[in-house]
Amino acid sequence: MKIAVLPGDGIGTEIVAEAIRVLDALDLSFEMETALVGGAAYEAHGHPLPEATLKLAKEADAVLFGAVGDWKYDKLDRPLRPEQAILGLRKNLGLFANFRPAICYEQLVGASSLKPELIAGLDILIIRELTGDIYFGQPRGRRTAVDGHFPGADEAFDTMRYSRPEVERIARVAFEAARKRSKRVTSVDKANVLETFQFWKDIVTEVHKDYPDIELDHMYVDNAAMQLVKAPKKFDVIVTGNMFGDILSDEAAMLTGSIGMLPSASLNSSNQGLYEPSHGSAPDIAGKGVANPLATILSAAMMLRFSLNQAEAADRIESAVKHVLASGLRTGDIWSEGTKRVGTREMGDAVVAAITKKTITG
């Protein structure tokens, strides 16, 4: 099993280091190789995704990714900005299915801005299509309007599009994932207004015929955004397009109140995947040893489950995280009165200790 380790920038190096210590504690045999990505790669090689990094990622069974970016790169030409590395990896590895679980840990119920009874026990999975939709559709650009409300004015335009195979494959991913959960899928669209999403809805309905054991319902995106804050627990698996998924997955993530806790996975059709925390490189706290490493540690657990076929080891990590939270340890982002504030390294130590069954202090 080969893992490409790409820590990236900012807190990326600190949180990935803890995830690696956790993987090491499992006593499984992995080959791990580290490479530069993002701003760090730009500084060293003049490009955020150097050929050698891309080659390593392509050859690995899985990529463990930290985060990229820093405000100091904001003035670079777009293709050289750190965030382009993620788009390049998604494109080159064909990572079309993004899994974003939003789980509310019992001990962190108070961290949400919603009432505890709305989110206690929350466990939903958003599956976002990642390589199509308005983000990649051509043509796009700027021009002088020839029609519309202001002919002759400058205008900009993008193209929303999905092909049948793109919708079919993401629908199958969602139905398969639902089979391992509570067998319910909500497909989110805007079929009442957009042709692309009427097409999406039709195809999801067709694919559903192959999954009679799964309950499917359809919901417009505006209603889904509302229901997520009104009654989030009524969802189980949500499947949607790239843009709606971008927005809804961030909304769902914040239901749990703690961005430092949320893992994610992006998979291709051969289950090769890129695993990363949902948050960014947090330049404001980088180098201070205070970042929460749990989202990255939980991403490593997803990696074991989805790409490396090690479900039992994934369970061990997830149980260790729950155990550490129950013991009262908290990084600053999830700290509350009555709990013990710890840094990145101590949080990693505690998870390692829980895995190797040593006593946890705190």
Q: Applying CB under 6 A, what is the total number of residues that bind ligand NAD?
A: 23
128 annotated as a binding-site residue:
yes
181 is in an annotated binding site: no
Q: With binding defined as CB under 6 A, does residue 267 bind ligand NAD?
A: no
Is 223 known to sit in a ligand binding site? no
The Cα-based distances of 220 to 87, 100, 226 in angstroms read 27, 20, 10
**Type of residue numbered 262:** L
Query: Cα–Cα distance between 239 and 186 in angstroms, integer?
Result: 6
Q: Is 83 a residue that touches ligand NAD (CB under 6 A)? A: yes
DSSP classification of residue 109: G
232 forms part of the interface with ligand NAD (CB under 6 A): no
- The residue range among 108-116, 272-280, 318-326, 350-358 that interacts with ligand NAD, by the rule CB under 6 A, is 272-280
Least distance in Å: CB of 208 to ligand NAD?
32
One of 67, 237, 252, 267 touching ligand NAD (CB under 6 A): 67
Paired with 103 in beta bridges are 123
Q: Where are the beta strands (DSSP E) in 104-240?
A: 123-129, 141-144, 154-157, 184-189, 215-220, 237-240
- Report CA Rg, the chain: 21
If one asks whether residue 70 binds ligand NAD (CB under 6 A), the answer comes out as yes
> At closest approach, how far in Å is the CB of 100 from ligand NAD?
12
State the Cα–Cα distance between residues 323 and 351, nearest whole angstrom: 8
Residues 6+ apart with CB under 8 A from 146: none
Minimal CA–CA distance to 253: which of 281, 277, 227?
A: 277
Annotated binding residue 286: yes
Q: Which of 260, 263, 273, 348 contacts ligand NAD by CB under 6 A?
A: 260
Site string for ligand NAD, 295-324 (x = CB under 6 A): x-----------------------------
Instruction: Please give the full DSSP string across 219-249, using - where no structure is assigned.
Output: EEHHHHHHHHHH-GGG-SEEEE-HHHHHHHH
Residues of span 277-296 touching ligand NAD by CB under 6 A: 279-285, 291-292, 295
Q: Is 289 annotated as a binding residue?
A: yes
| Local structure of 297: helix, strand or coil | helix
Task: Based on the residue annotation, tell me whether 154 is a catalytic residue of this protein.
Answer: no
Q: Which residues between 158 and 177 bind ligand NAD (CB under 6 A)? A: none
Provide the residue type at 130 as one letter: L
Reduced to 3 states (helix: H, G, I; strand: E, B; else coil), residue 286 is coil
Among 4, 19, 86, 170, binds ligand NAD (CB under 6 A): 86
Nearer to ligand NAD, 101 or 197 (CB): 101
Compare residues 203 and 267 and give the one whose CB is closer to ligand NAD: 267
**How many other C-beta atoms lie within 10 A of the C-beta of residue 34?**
16
**Stretch touching ligand NAD by CB under 6 A, among 65-73, 100-108, 121-129, 222-230:** 65-73
> Pairing between strand 97-103 and 263-267?
antiparallel
**Minimum separation from the CB atom of position 36 to ligand NAD (A):** 14
Catalytic (active-site) positions: 135, 190, 222, 246, 250
Binding residues: 90, 100, 128, 222, 246, 250, 280-292
- Which residues in this chain contact ligand NAD in the complex, by CB under 6 A? 11, 15, 67-70, 83, 86, 259-260, 276, 279-285, 291-292, 295, 331, 333
